[in-house]
Structure 1
Amino acid sequence: MEVRTPNRLPFHRLPVFPVLVVQLMVVLIAAAVCWQWRGSVSGYSGLCGGLIAWLPNVYFAHKAFRFSGARAAQAIVRSFYAGEAGKLILTAVLFALTFAGVKPLDALAVFSVFLLTQLVNWFSPLLTRTRLLRP
């Protein structure tokens, strides 16, 4: 059975796009706060930690929303699993590259901004609640 993708939305029209934008804003603001509060090493370390969380989420959103329609239900489920697996692998690779290649590094800033960016995912239903209530 061929999987069709009729009326595929552009990336900026996906339902998850506002969450990704808020995540990016949180990453940039948190990195700027780290830069001001604890110095330049903490600032770019925080930026690395935020990007470690944000880039895999962009990958997942692109992968998970590739298919649409009732006929593509199996392809949608497969793309969600593939997107989540890719997201986990990408996160691990980005952490490894950051800790191996970025010297000096403030580990507290990396993990703090990473966690803060992940919190946006956890509270995303609050961000999209008004969007879901609109007809």
Structure 2
Amino acid sequence: MAGRTLSTVSKILLYQILIMILMAAGFAAAVGKMAALSAALGGAAAFFPNLFFAYRIKKATGQEARKIVVSFYTGEVGKLLLTAAIFVLIFQIPDIELLPLLVGYLTALSVFWFALLMR
């Protein structure tokens, strides 16, 4: 793949994975395994819905405007429902730690804010 550059969306998704790994490693070193798992799951609750949304939008590329808008809205609704479902599943895990979970989630989401600032 020489000469091929990553799209902005791909870069954001990769940065989210990097943030998830760094947060999990930081919580593992500072607090312990359960905090690391909680942080990783929080990051996953942000990452997978964004991956779904990116897939929906990518699928609509090159289509007429109406289909792109429909894909955008269905992708966003799916993203919100997927986020809620992931959190429901996460809260079924015994001894999940709320603070690392939320820190992992918010830091993964913050990648978007930093991406906007970098542009």
Cα-to-partner distance string for 1:34-61 (whole Å, 9 max, x where unaligned): 1110111101111111101101000000
Shift in alpha-carbon separation, 1:13–1:74, aligned structure 2, 3 A = farther
- Counterpart of 1:26 in structure 2 is 19
Q: Max radius of gyration: which structure?
A: 1
Secondary structure of 1:103's aligned partner: coil
Where does residue 105 of structure 1 map in the other structure?
A: 96
| Gap regions ≥5 residues in structure 1 | 1-11, 130-135
- Residue 14 of structure 1, CA deviation: 4.1
Q: Does 1:87 align with 2:66?
A: no
Tell me the C-alpha RMSD between the 2 structures. 1.5
**Residue equivalent to 2:59:** 66
Structure 2 length-normalised TM: 0.90
Deviation at 1:123, TM superposition (A): 2.0
Q: Which residue of 2 aligns with 1:51?
A: 44
SS at match of 1:105: coil
- Structure 2's unaligned 5+ residue stretches are none
Counterpart of 1:50, as a letter, is G
Deviation beyond 2 Å, 4+ runs, structure 1? 12-15
**How is 1:4-23 mapped onto 2 (pairs within 5 angstroms)?**
13-23=6-16
CA distance in 2, matches of 1:41, 1:68: 41
Please give the TM-score of this superposition, normalised by the length of structure 1.
Answer: 0.80
